[in-house]
Structure 1
Amino acid sequence: MKRVSDMKRILAPTLLAGIVGSVLGVPPVWAAGDQLTIALIQKQGDQQYFVDEANGARDAAKELGNVKVNVVNVSMDSNAAISAMNVMVGQKVDGIAIVVPDQQIGPQVIDMAAQAKIPLVAVDDPIKSGAGEAAAFVGFDGFDMGSKVGEDAGKLFKASGWNIDDVRVIAAYEQQLSVCQDREAGEEAAFQKVVGALPKIIKVGTDNSTMDAQNRTGAVVTANPNVKHWVAWACNDENLIGVTTALANAGMPAENVIGVGLGAYLTCKDWQAGQKTGNKAALYISGRDVGDAAVRVLVASIRDHKPLPPKTIAHTTIVTPENWKSVMGSCS
């Protein structure tokens, strides 16, 4: 009986704190040694970038110790994303990182996490609450990314000696997605700054997948049979590969195409294989770095009570067929 009494004395303050915390809506206190569970809810989880992102999150969890990451792929289904949020809230996970399929569900996602007192970060695609307040964000600066792509495309164009009147630009991206809008705006602005002018731009709306970009670009090429040279940029590598594949299928020689990717995780495959390709360069972004950062900021918030930083921006750099291996290490 003495052991029971001693245990009661030990547990009483903890139980009381838990009851008071529950009544007041205060998050539970994390104790050293407790395992944390972080949910990573992703759109398009089968794309290589998001596969890398999930692996980066798991690696960070392993390094930090006593952290588990539950990865959920909701494809492009907003209802599935809300269902996943409900499940994770019901399981009382300690933190949530989410790549939303549609930014319009942002207010609902933020409200669900706030009501459950679970720290949340928006990954890759920023979201806002119903009051217009941005969630903590982990990812990239869209305009800056686009600027680097556009600048490199401009340099390659100037080196080509092509007549601007013989050139068309294909810009392939999901046109409703703000990060894609930012990237495309940066691409245009930087290209014009380097070249001093813009060729005619054909904006191709896609769902950010390779096949959709390829199909839609095929129709564009058919409608523009007299174009001699093409410049291509996009919101991601999937789009860029779709565009350059469609151009190649239409008989456009690789030397008549300047494609600059955004991601490099797919464009590097042509370079690794030594293929002649219209993919001349790409902005290397590491999904692994983003997944790593998302887990680290959440764990720091939970364990060390550090405020979630408003923005955590990952590094990017241009790679080419000549330097990609030294920068990327491998092409997954």
Structure 2
Amino acid sequence: MINVLFASRSPGWDSYEAPLRAAFDRAGLSDIDLRTDHAPETVDYIVYAPKSDLQDFTPYVNCKAVLSLWAGVEKIVPNTTLIQPLCRMVDPGMTSGMVEWVTGHALRHHLDIDFFLDHQSGEWIQKVPPLAQERPVTVLGLGELGQACAKSLARLGFPVTGWSRTPKEVSGLTTLSGPEGLKQALSSAQILVLLLPLTEGTRDLINAETLALLPKGACLLNPGRGPLVVDADLVAALDSGQLHRATLDVFREEPLPRDHPFWGHPRITVSPHIAAETRALTAARVIAENIRRGEAKEPFLYQVDRTRGY
């Protein structure tokens, strides 16, 4: 018998019990005992989210892996009691959702749809946008989500530059890395998309200095991590005209406080962390595959490198 502990308040047991059981059956894992109350020493795998009541992993001495339901692991990695292998969630449904959000908002800014929404008074203003091929886009972060979004935009004709902290080659994209590569990537970015993980090396990366490197009038999309951006510097760049607009899906504090200046700013659009929600049906299949791999002594999918923080 393989004992699997479900330890998550959000997303919850009601959402995941049926999809997980179906995914286990589909993966040929007929001897799974999935519960929310296994005795710690009997647990083989933990299906986990950081908002769980489980914060001390010390009693789980026989646990083979902790399988997160979240893509981000910055709230889990610092837990010193977690010494088991940790796998982050890379969910095909989440990837599709992120691609749709990024592509939709990139097109919205490219076509300047907000301008026409703001001018519905009967005045005939023929403001013609450039073609996609004339609008360079930069995607910071070339993980699973970053590459998928960058490729989607490239298929629409945008010249896309991707930046990562370590060198990567991605077909159809210009790829850059390192500090000098970051400066180059920002210098051409009329639309900037943030899809970096949150680490000590990326926290506050988008600040007054880096925003000043963008072409004047650029637009910023942040569906990645809130603390990548220095809030006050972003507002200042919008107020000065250095940035034209920003669409933000993630924030330093969530839910975004009612009195936060982002809410009332005329050039900021807030969406409530919906760009890449984990889908129970597809996420359950990722969990099942990792348990199958664990039992077969195969490498886990999406195992976190704690030295890098993701």
For normalisation by structure 1, the TM-score amounts to: 0.41
The higher radius of gyration belongs to 1
Q: Please identify which structure carries the higher helix content.
A: 1
For normalisation by structure 2, the TM-score amounts to: 0.43
